[in-house]
A and B are shown apart, each in its own frame.
Chain A
Amino acid sequence: MTVVSAFLVPGSPLPLLRSENPPWSGIASAYRTAGRALAASRPDTILLYSTQWMAVLDELWQARPHLADTHVDENWYEYGDLEYDLNIDVELAQACVAGSKEIGISSKAIDYDKFPIDTGTIVADKFLNPSSRYPLTIAANNLYHSFDDTIRLGEMAVQKATDLGRRVAIVGVGGLSGSIFRHEIDIRSDGIVSAEDDAWNRQMLSSLEAGGDASFPEVCDEFAKGAKADMGFKHCAWIYGALGRKFSGARVHEYGATYGSGAAVVEFKV
């Protein structure tokens, strides 16, 4: 079996940088639970897609063997720094570059010192892979790619992992409803911006718990439009594609808000 676990997780740094804040502590705790589940699945590599690594030319794959630095989020810099130390499964990344081209998606490997690693990737790695035990293969979110393109990328990446004999954990990093508060709030009272967004999020999470088949992209499309979901909810397309376009259900470890937007830690049944 290639895919040994799969998770949908938020990319906001707030639960990491202020994990003691009551509205965010549940997300932080659930993230750690997911990290233990990921470790228990004994992957060789984490196959990760983050909505916050944005590309406009090509599908980009991180191919620098080791990346360590300090990142400061451009929005939430006041909450502190994000140190990271990532090991990359370069062989799988290069295979995915070739595989992207095979499915008609132009693609490039990225291998540059000081390349700006996105906040979402760092947050997910810090929670799910705290000792940097597992190497990652990281895919960018090309803003011009559709939900279907992203499904195909997820499928392709798992096929390449299979070809290389890898056991992989699938991680899609991104939020649910995308609207945030547009004024400063007391973070102790954070919540979803509107009842409508909250209802959309809960409906989507129920769908994930119930499982998905060929009609799942339509469910996601309706949700993405209704909830102004983070990047069209393409991080879920990544997972759905990686799982072979069907899954029998999922467990929602936690659902909450990150400055008004929706965030959930979800573990898929594999």
Chain B
Amino acid sequence: MPKGEIVAGFIAPHPPHLVYGENPPQNEPKSQGGWEQLRWAYEKVRAKIDELQPDVILVHSPHWITQLGHHFLGIEHLAGKSVDPIFPNLFRYTYDMNVDVELAEAACQNAKDLGLVSKMMRNPKFRVDYGTITSLHLARPQWDIPVVGLSANNSPYYLTTEEGFEEMDRLGKATRKAIEDLGRRAVVLCSATMSHRHFQEEPDVPEDMSQEHPYSMEMYQWDMKLIDLMRRGEMQKVHDLLPQFVEIAFAEFKAGSFTWMCSAMGYPELPGELLGFGNVIGTGNAVFEWDLTKFGLATPASEWKHSRPFNAGRPSAPSSPLGGGSFGGAGPSIGATAR
């Protein structure tokens, strides 16, 4: 088996507005469009994923918030309906995804080996969060590539931002090692918005783009400052500025997705390509690409020997993934003496 590789990383923000604006069949609410520049940016992500032919897409989502450690989706097939608790008027999405559980388990174990509290989520009735779903839909709406979903531990909120990022650095290394050891060809998604201050009220017509603009000049300038550094490939400066950016701009990078992605990619000091930028209820959203094959750091698809043909079919799903009785849980038992 060849050593696995991360072939690309993307900043893949998850405003549900972008799914709403697209009107895919999976989403109940229908719109008149909106946020086109961000959605067109995602068209480039989709084309790039077609070109790169990954075996797996990994996503770290700030909206699966876990208090005790870093968690991985650990069920082969997850399906259901996800209603965004913040924007239920925009996002009521029927999802159906296959999980690369073997890879998730390896990354989870590696994280433990690096001293992180890490767990596999094994409850088949678990409802996948809208951040995970939105980023994955926007990147690969066919849902034909297995995924790995990681939770956002609240360590940056409980500890300091820097301490939280140190955990994300280890989680990224754990993820990379699992990908390499299992020979996967992987794309990693940082599911996060940049400046995250937002308006307190929604327009009557959410897709009325005349209402959309940066929350403030300061937020816009901070977003552009970081984007400029990323475009130049001055990534160490970006990481140095992150705590300040998080503090001032309430940046969603605080949840750790960006640090995890960069760590997993080995902190390439390389220019990324800005695919698009836009505001969503005032927040700053950049769709960014680091295609490592362009820099000779990963193998182009044409030279890669897939262990199975790209997009050759989905892992077989259980006959009734959501059926059956109540999940009694395999959680810690208190033992016979305590009962």
Verify that A and B bind, or say they do not: yes
Q: Which of A21, A22, A70 contacts B326 (CB 8 A)?
A: A70
If A72-B127, A80-B326, A144-B200 touch, whether A22 touches B68 (CB-CB below 8 Å) is no
Closest to B124 in A: A72
Identify which of B68, B83, B334 contacts A115 (C-beta below 8 A): B83
Contacts of B329 in A (CB 8 A): 17, 77-81
| Contacting pair B202 A57 (CB below 8 A) | yes
Whether, in the assembled complex, A270 has its beta carbon less than 8 Å from a beta carbon of chain B, the answer is no
CB 8 Å contact bits of A60-90 with B (1 = contact, 0 = none): 0000000000111011111111010000000
When A17-B329, A184-B68 are in contact, do A112 and B83 touch as well, CB less than 8 Å?
A: yes
Q: Which of A31-39, A122-130, A175-183, A233-241 contacts B (4 or more CB under 8 A)?
A: A175-183
Check if B318 is an interface residue, CB within 8 A of chain A. Answer: no
State A54–B129 Cα separation when bound (angstroms): 14
In the complex, are the beta carbons of A80 and B328 less than 8 A apart? yes
Q: Are B338 and A78 within 8 A (Cβ)?
A: no
Tell me the interface secondary structure of chain B in the complex: loop
Asked if B92 is an interface residue, CB under 8 A from chain A, the answer is: yes
Contacts of A180 in B (CB 8 A): 67-68
Q: What is the 8 Å Cβ interface bit string for chain B, positions 198-227, against chain A (1 contact, 0 not)?
A: 111110000000000000000000000000
A106→B68 contact, CB < 8 A: no
Number of interface residues of B (CB under 8 A): 42
Knowing A55-B86, A57-B201, A116-B85, say if A74 contacts B129 (CB, 8 Å): yes
From residue 119 to 135 of chain B, which have CB atoms closer than 8 A to chain A?
Answer: 119, 121-123, 125-127, 129
Indicate if the CB atoms of B126 and A77 lie closer than 8 Å. yes
Query: Is A267 located at the chain interface by the 8 A CB criterion?
Result: no
- Cβ of A199 under 8 Å from chain B: no
CA distance A188 to B338 in the complex (A): 8
Contacts of B158 in A (CB 8 A): 179, 182
Most chain A Cβ neighbours within 10 Å, of B122, B151, B334:
B334
- Contact mask for chain B residues 311-339; partner A; CB cutoff 8 A; 1 contact, 0 none: 00000000000000011111110110011
Looking at chain A's contact residues, is the secondary structure mostly helix, strand, loop, or mixed? loop
Interface residues on A, range: 35 or more
The answer to whether B202 touches A81 (Cβ under 8 A) is no
B residues less than 8 Å from A77 (CB atoms): 121-123, 126, 329
Q: Mark B146-181, 1 if CB is under 8 A from A, else 0.
A: 000001000100100000000000000000000000
A259 to chain B, nearest CB (A): 7
Chain B residues near A183 (CB, 8 Å)?
Answer: 68, 117
Tell me whether B129 and A81 are in contact (CB under 8 A): no
Chain A residues positioned under 8 Å from B129 (CB to CB): 74
Closest chain B residue to A180, Cβ basis: B67
In the bound complex, how far is the Cα of B326 from the Cα of A2, in angstroms?
Answer: 38
Instruction: Enumerate chain A residues within 8 angstroms of B87, measured Cβ to Cβ.
Output: 57
Q: Which residues of A contact B121 (CB under 8 A)?
A: 77-78
Q: Does B266 make an interface contact (CB < 8 A)? A: no
- Chain A residues lying within 8 Å of B123, measured Cβ to Cβ, are 72, 77-78, 81
Q: Which of B79-120 contact A (CB under 8 A)?
A: 81, 83, 85-88, 92, 117, 119
Least Cβ–Cβ distance between A139 and chain B, in angstroms: 14
B65 interfacial by beta-carbon distance below 8 Å = yes
Report the Cα distance A45→B14, complex, angstroms. 38
Which B residues touch A204, using CB under 8 A? none
Which of B127, B326, B339 has the largest count of A CB atoms less than 10 A from its CB? B127
Q: Which of A2-21 contact B (CB under 8 A)?
A: 17-18, 20-21
Residue in A closest to B126 when the chains form the complex, CB atoms: A72
In the A-B complex, the 8 residue pairs with the closest CB atoms: A80-B329, A78-B331, A79-B331, A77-B123, A79-B329, A114-B81, A112-B88, A21-B334
Given A75-B67, A78-B122, 16 more contacts at CB 8 Å?
A18-B334, A20-B334, A21-B334, A57-B86, A71-B127, A72-B127, A74-B129, A75-B65, A76-B331, A77-B123, A78-B331, A83-B326, A106-B200, A118-B85, A187-B334, A188-B334
12 contacts between A and B (CB under 8 A): A21-B334, A22-B334, A53-B85, A56-B86, A58-B202, A70-B326, A75-B66, A81-B329, A110-B88, A112-B88, A180-B67, A183-B68
Give A contacts to B, CB under 8 Å.
17-18, 20-22, 53-58, 70-72, 74-81, 83, 106, 110, 112-116, 118, 144, 179-184, 186-188, 259
